[in-house]
Amino acid sequence: MHTVPALNIDMNYCRRCGSAFVQQNKHVFTCANNHVIYANASPATAAIIVNPANEVLVIKRAIEPGKGAYDLPGGFCDGAETLEDATKREIAEEVGITSDMYTELKFVCSGIDNYDLAGEVLAVCAAVFYVKLHNYVTPKPDDDAAEAFFVPLTAVQPEEFYFPALQKALAIIKRQQS
Ligand SMILES: [Zn+2]
């Protein structure tokens, strides 16, 4: 568990011309050459993957932040990647499950997380999707996932997950299915 601070991006120079910013209005920065730079939360995704026995695929994080904590497959969007494409790519990378093996992505909710990256706290806007596996599969943990295993939805404790956006999404799914 960790708390989420307000968006607070550490930015001193214009990425277009390299000059110092002369004005900051909340998340909008303006340099001496009138370049306007928006500092928004970084888009990321995660997936609640459920098997035919209504068990949720849970992973343990292999890396900081939150190394060893419970997580769901997911991660940052790469460049100009859609949330859906990022979700499918991360699922394939982290647990070896491809999009032909599950139903269409169903949006659950989004939430703001903070993410400690090399000493900087990034604000992340995480979108969480829900999918059902067509058949039983054995996940192959890789990349950011140290372990991957199924937990009955009824036994999932949302507060045990590292990121608040995932806690919120798991609580919604549990409420819908209780
Ligand atoms: Zn500039």
What are 42-83's pLDDT values in tens digits?
A: 999 999 999 999 999 999 998 888 899 999 999 999 999 999
Does pTM top 0.75 for this prediction?
yes
Give the pLDDT score at 7. Answer: 60
In whole angstroms, what is the distance from residue 88 CA to residue 74 CA? 9
Q: Does the active-site annotation cover 93?
A: no
Cα of 161 vs centre of ligand 1, distance in Å, is 40
Portion of the chain with pLDDT greater than 90, in percent: 75
The C-alpha torsion from 77 through 79 and 80 to 86, rounded to 10°, is -30
Q: What is the mean pLDDT of the chain?
A: 92
Strands 74-76 and 28-31: unpaired
Closest by Cα among 125, 22, 27, 141 to 83: 125
Rounded alpha-carbon distances, angstroms, from residue 167 to 68, 109, 128: 16, 11, 10
pLDDT value at 1 more than 50: no
Closest by Cα among 69, 57, 73, 46 to 143: 73
**Which of 112-121, 127-136, 139-148 is most confident?**
127-136
Cα of 22 vs centre of ligand 1, distance in Å, is 10
Coil, strand or helix at 167: helix
